[in-house]
Structure 1
Amino acid sequence: MNKEEKKQELAARAAWMYYVAGLTQQEIAQSLGLSRQVAQRLVSTAREQGMVSVKIAHPVTHCLALAQALSAKFGLTLCRVVPSGQLDDDAVQQMLAVEGAEVMSQFISEDTPQTFGIGSGKTLRAIIDALPWTERPQHHCVSMIGAIARDDSGTRYDVPLKMAEKMQGKYFFIPAPLYADSPDDREMWCRHQVYQRVTQRALNASVIFLGIGEVSPGCPLNAEGFITDQQVSDLQSKGAAGEMLGHFFNQQGERIYSELDALLTSVPLEANTTRNIIGFAGGERKFAAIRAAVAGRWVNGLVTDEATANRLLSL
């Protein structure tokens, strides 16, 4: 047994102690002869690697009612609401990960070959981490967004690849940066035959899973080096409230255009979509973006939290 296998064995042992036996992390540390910090990391590793699958069989009636009301108000064909109460954004994301994985699993369980269009971001990555490993090699994952930053580095949230690994299926990625260096450079990337074949796959995807991003200093696009501080400021001055795949929109869900649009290489999106697009987002920080996404009907499916749902319905 190599070092990595030993680490996974230890993580699985810690998961059994924590989730099944109900031991605290301190008790696990004492039992395994480790520090509390190492025990905590082992439990987290077990969760992230899909060793732990959480399923709560009894729904929260209030959340079901909220989901039905959101569907009626915003024309959603799928809506799930997780209980959030006064939880902070990090705790909400953990709950979204569990519910999001349940939603994705319903599509993955199909025997008929499916093509899943996948965005990027922390929320989607957390959902993929929560997905159980399954054998569905007939399914394909295709990226909806170029993952090369301005400094030529790759994003840390390569979600489609991770999802394909969990299903043991194929992964197709867009061979381009999210934003090209110039309009001519964008034209060069987008003319490439591989780019055109992959984007066509994405446009024909059975279902698309996307995160909904906020627009503010330090937001994911800014933190990952895709857009500059000045570009964030310019977008905010135009009223940008949210984005999906680099497409920016205001509070009413109307598309906002900037210098970035002449450089954007991601798969096209449009408001009032008729495509099967499910958005995953929640928490106070993302409320304005979620409100804009559903107002413009950029998504027809939504997985969000209770507090966000209540605010959306009170508008």
Structure 2
Amino acid sequence: MLMQKRQADDAVAQAAWLYYVGNLSQQDVSERLGISRFKVLRMLADAREQGLVRIMVEHRTSSTLTLADQLVQIFGLQEAQVAPVGAAKYDDSLARDAVAVLASGYLARIAGTDRPVTVGVGWGRTLSKMADNLTGVKNNALTFVSLMGSVTHASHTAPGDVCVRLAEQTGGRAILMPAPFVMDSADACAGIMSQRLVREALNVAKSADHALMSVGECQNGAILFESDIFDPEQIQELRAVDVVGDCCGVFYKADGSVADIELNRCTPCVQPVDMASMNTVMLAGGMAKLNATRAILSAGFIKKLLVDEALARALVAASHQGRA
């Protein structure tokens, strides 16, 4: 058994070396080792969980610090962190990865305490990547709770999945919202939110110390539109009133106001008004999220922002144009 474990650990280390140091793609590693790509993904995750791989981003450069200061001033934030992303190879996926590393560092920072800490968690690709990048955090006093209902189909990005993975990695516990992301009607939503188990999860979520949320853009190609959550009438409702984005199941117009639509009365979730005492942290990566990020920051309930450099520059530029 000891020999088998040692061989398994060696294989994990080899896969991590080829991917992170050898700069091979996951497909290349799969072919090199003669295993499936899914197995490669699992081995890379194991390498991070075991502390064999530690990913660090040095973001305290003068340019990113200046951008962070500007974002704090413009949007009245308590804190902003900007992840540098090379312009030559920039794409939204790379930007999300960079912001996810920042977020894993933030989570490690707030989790390094002896007292109980409750962290509310939204959903999305960036938050999922954050969970993938978290290493070296062990704290059985941590609680991760969903800030919103979940999707029907199992997904690596779903809030329940992210909460469970974070709890497993840290030794904490996960509390899931036992409700769908969206209900068929406002009456149905009110009914499910009155249920005891949902109320109990909501109460924990509303008392969270921190809320980690990502931005959802309402446009073709967005995870919201690709996940079959909405029926055609609901998508048309979003487009008809120029909704630009969502955060944890609440939909916003470009000026930061909550859209007065039926859909906003059909999503069981923690509302911005419930987040006044939380450290509300928004993760935003990729230029596709510019309009949605501006809108949600304008709503005024976000206290901390983790963002990639290109999007940070665009946010600052858009703000200056708006004042011109």
TM-score by length of structure 1 reads 0.87
Residue 201 of structure 1, CA deviation: 0.7
Cα distance between partner residues in 2 of 1:258 and 1:5: 57
User: Are 1:35 and 2:38 matched, yes or no?
Assistant: no
Q: Is the 8 A contact 1:148 1:177 kept in 2?
A: yes
Identity %, equivalent residues: 25
Change (3 A) 1:238 1:167: same
Cα distance between partner residues in 1 of 2:59 and 2:258: 39
Cα distance between partner residues in 1 of 2:67 and 2:38: 35
Q: Is the 8 A contact 2:244 2:253 kept in 1?
A: yes
Cα distance between partner residues in 2 of 1:258 and 1:266: 16
Q: Is the 8 A contact 2:182 2:267 kept in 1?
A: yes
Q: Work out which of the residue numbers 197, 200, 207 in structure 2 matches 1:204.
A: 207
Which range moved further: 153-162 or 192-201? 153-162
Count of residues in correspondence between the two structures: 307
Superposition RMSD on alpha carbons, in Å? 2.9
Which range moved further: 268-277 or 78-87? 268-277
Letter in 2 for 1:299: I
Give CA-to-partner distance per residue, 1:205-226, whole Å, 9 cap, x none: 0000001110013422222222
Letter in 1 for 2:199: Q
Which range moved further: 273-282 or 162-171? 273-282
Aligned to 2:140: 137
User: Are 1:178 and 2:181 matched, yes or no?
Assistant: yes
User: Are 1:297 and 2:296 matched, yes or no?
Assistant: no
Q: Please state whether the residue corresponding to 1:210 is helix, strand or coil.
A: strand
Change (3 A) 1:226 1:118: same
Change (3 A) 1:125 1:197: same
User: Are 1:308 and 2:311 matched, yes or no?
Assistant: yes
Cα distance between partner residues in 2 of 1:271 and 1:292: 19
Cα distance between partner residues in 1 of 2:269 and 2:6: 38
Which range moved further: 257-266 or 137-146? 257-266
Aligned to 2:45: 48
Q: Work out which of the residue numbers 224, 246, 249 in structure 2 matches 1:246.
A: 249
Cα distance between partner residues in 1 of 2:38 and 2:186: 45
User: Are 1:77 and 2:78 matched, yes or no?
Assistant: yes
Aligned to 1:122: 125
Residue 7 of structure 1, CA deviation: 5.8
- The answer for unaligned runs of 5 or more in structure 1 is none
Residue 121 of structure 1, CA deviation: 1.0
Q: Is the 8 A contact 1:147 1:154 kept in 2?
A: no
Q: Work out which of the residue numbers 148, 161, 166 in structure 1 matches 2:164.
A: 161
Aligned to 2:22: 23
Residue 34 of structure 1, CA deviation: 4.8
Letter in 1 for 2:200: R
Change (3 A) 1:289 1:178: same
Change (3 A) 1:38 1:68: farther
Cα distance between partner residues in 2 of 1:4 and 1:177: 40
Letter in 2 for 1:48: A
